[in-house]
Amino acid sequence: MSRAERLLLWLAWPVLAICTLPIFAAALAAFGSDLGTWRNVLSTVLPGYVRTTLTLVALVAVGTAVIGSGAAWLVTVYRFPGARWLEIALALPLAFPAYVLAYAYTAMLDHPGPVQTALRAVTGWGPRDYWFPEVRSLGGAAVMLTIVLYPYVYLLARASFRQQSANAYLVARTLGETPMGAFRRVALPMARPAIAGGTLLAVMETIADYGTVAHFNVQTFSTGIYQAWFSVGDRGAAAQLALCLLMFALLVAGLERASRGRARTAGNGPRFDAMGKTQLTGAAGWAATAFCAFPVLIGFVGPLVMLGVMAMDSGQNILHPRYQALLSNSLTVAGIASVLTVLGAVMISFRARVRPGKLSRGLVIGAGLGYAVPGGVIAVGLMVPFARFDNALDAMMEARFGVDTGLLITGSIWLMVFAYMARFMAAALNAYDSGMATVPLHHDAVARSLGRSGPMLLGRIHLPAARASVLTALLIVFVDVMKELPATLILHPFNFQTLAVQAHRLASDERLREAAVPSLVLVAIGLIPVALLCRTLDRETRSAGFAAAQGTAIRAG
């Protein structure tokens, strides 16, 4: 093995260290803090945080599972008015960060908003003459998160339903099951792993969310960490809450995996027969249209229109130098973080492919733990050790050389970049590995026999073969970094603000119209991967329609 290849294999370990350091640092900081602080947290705020977080997670899990799997089944099995367009549009709410949706609906549904204003104008009621649902509530936060996150379940469930053979469903129908009964007893159990996986992603995003719950004044673990860090200045309490949140997130992931057991999403078997679509007419057809159109209207069309109106009335100019600086900061940190994260994923995947075994599998699992770790936990886990390092280094340099080094790491963007790498490494690994899975292992053996090893194997064989997956990974991480709020709020330098931070601060000051401008930019950037996804869905829909028509013609002949 050449020295260059050994270097490539060794580089996977620093990547693993960056990804796992926040977890171990948060645990050490929590256990190293004063136990009196922990007893105070345990007896005062912790029960409320646990209760609220569990309630929010349960509501979002049920909502995303019902909407996502129900819509996926309808567009896969039935034809109804607008089905072709809705099959694509159902993924659009994924472009909205949940906190941006919260800003839009607060402006729309609050007492001075257009909805209640129009209601009072039509009825002549006064402010206390009627009851209106409170958007700034636990239920409101659950609705915002559900509408933004159900596409995770929809996309995975849709793919699972499309992979199921129609034979089992048709057998259930011939045995007397109604369409709903066959769906509940046959199709749904076969798609359970995919639905559970999408629901788990939604739950993890709910646990990690800060912007939505903070704007709605819902006290969860995420808001508790931020308040302990900044409002109270108690970093020990913040670390202890971060450890509780980390344990809660890992427990949810473990319970989901244990409940799934050995179940796998049903795939194409030797007697695979594609699901034929049944035409829904009359009230049933329009009911299916309403069920699928409702989340699109309230999760994309409505808030997009509201943000556009607010932005036009805000008097803000996106071309102003201040906004250009915010956009530049966001693009810079997202670009650096996405490139380094994907490079780290390539290093880890390369080692796992070249040196398969338990050690490499453990390395991949360890590097991907960040998907289950909220951004606030990662931020606390990085800030505590690096702040101590900066302070110790500054004290040493001041004592020995009279030089004030300041905050070399915690005062720069590099701590943010490390946090993003730890948070989104799993996304980059999954995207890259999906492309490498199509490259047979014997290609590596052929390349080595021709003298292509180490860097040449990676640069001449792996990366060209997985070019599309590399670009996909870059795009996914880039957009996720642009939208990330909890880690950015805690770690950003004083003179370095991003669009996400600016939108949050304006909304926190109740300047919702001004917050609409950076929010719209974030939505526009989030639309890029969703547009590519919709293009893929459209191609799949066309090819599936052709295949179904061809199969019908063959059976008729």
DSSP assignment of 217-237 equals T---HHHHHHIIIIIS--HHH
Whether 1-27+316-509 and 33-261+281-309 share one fold: the answer is yes
Q: Is 45 helix (H, G, I), strand (E, B) or coil?
A: coil
Q: Which two tokens stand for residue 146?
A: 């559900």
pLDDT tier at 454, thresholds 50, 70, 90: low
Nearest to 160 by CA among 291, 82, 275, 63: 275
Residue 262's pLDDT is 53
Is residue 405's pLDDT more than 80? no
Which DSSP letter does residue 369 get? G
* Averaged pLDDT, 307-335: 86
- Picking from 114-118, 133-137, 331-335, 374-378, which range would have the lowest pLDDT averaged per residue? 374-378
Residue 169's pLDDT is 66
pLDDT per residue as tens digits for the range 79-89 = 899 988 998 89
Q: Is 115 helix (H, G, I), strand (E, B) or coil?
A: helix
Nearest to 236 by CA among 383, 369, 373, 374: 383
Domain 33-261+281-309 has CATH 3.40.50.800: no
Is residue 165's pLDDT more than 80? no
Residues 147/68, Cβ–Cβ less than 8 Å: no
Domain 1-27+316-509 has CATH 3.40.50.300: no
Q: What is the CA radius of gyration of the chain?
A: 25
Which has the higher per-residue pLDDT, 402 or 499?
Answer: 499
- Picking from 431-440, 474-483, 484-493, 498-507, which range would have the lowest pLDDT averaged per residue? 431-440
Strand-pair category, 278-279 with 78-79: parallel
Residue 409's pLDDT is 82
Residue 168's pLDDT is 64
Identify residue 343 by its one-letter amino acid code: L
Is residue 150's pLDDT more than 90? yes
Residue 270's pLDDT is 46
Residues 385/25, Cβ–Cβ less than 8 Å: yes
Residue 551's pLDDT is 43
Beta strand extents in 276-396 (DSSP E only): 278-279
Residue 557's pLDDT is 40
Q: Which residue has the tokens 């206390």?
A: 128
Q: Which residues lie below 8 Å from residue 193, measured CB to CB, with a gap of 6+? A: 160, 260, 263, 264, 265
Buried b (16+ CB within 10 A) or exposed e, 499-518: bbbbbbebbeeeebbbbbbb
Nearest to 365 by CA among 12, 5, 29: 12
Nearest to 474 by CA among 439, 431, 504, 537: 431
* Averaged pLDDT, 193-197: 82
Q: Give the whole-angstrom CA distance, residue 522 versus residue 543.
A: 32
| CA atoms within 13 Å, Cβ hemisphere of 381 | 29
Identify residue 4 by its one-letter amino acid code: A
pLDDT per residue as tens digits for the range 459-490 = 777 778 778 788 878 888 888 898 888 889 88
Assign 3-class secondary structure to 190-209.
HCHHHHHHHHHHHHHHHHHC
Is residue 339's pLDDT more than 90? yes
pLDDT above 70: percentage of residues in the chain: 85
pLDDT tier at 545, thresholds 50, 70, 90: low
Which DSSP letter does residue 411 get? T
Is residue 263's pLDDT more than 60? no
* Averaged pLDDT, 433-445: 72
Query: What residues does each domain of the chain span?
Result: 1-27+316-509, 33-261+281-309
* Averaged pLDDT, 324-339: 91
Nearest to 360 by CA among 369, 346, 350: 350
Q: Give the whole-angstrom CA distance, residue 71 versus residue 63.
A: 12
Is residue 272's pLDDT more than 60? no
Q: Which residue has the tokens 């009621």?
A: 125
Residues 486/222, Cβ–Cβ less than 8 Å: yes
Work out the burial of residue 550: count CB atoms within 10 Å of its CB; fewer than 13 is exposed, 13-18 middle, 19 or more buried. exposed
pLDDT per residue as tens digits for the range 33-77 = 776 666 777 777 788 888 999 999 999 999 999 999 999 989 988
Tally of CB atoms within 10 A around 136: 16
Which DSSP letter does residue 402 get? -
- The helix (H) or strand (E) run that includes residue 529 is helix 512-556
Q: Give the whole-angstrom CA distance, residue 105 versus residue 144.
A: 9
Nearest to 367 by CA among 13, 27, 10: 13
Q: Give the whole-angstrom CA distance, residue 338 versus residue 331.
A: 10
Residue 305's pLDDT is 92
* Averaged pLDDT, 395-423: 85
* Averaged pLDDT, 375-391: 84
Average pLDDT, the chain: 82
Q: Which residue has the tokens 């739950």?
A: 203
Q: Which two tokens stand for residue 15?
A: 């990547």
CA dihedral of 329, 413, 476, 242, whole degrees rounded to 10: -130
Residues 217/209, Cβ–Cβ less than 8 Å: no
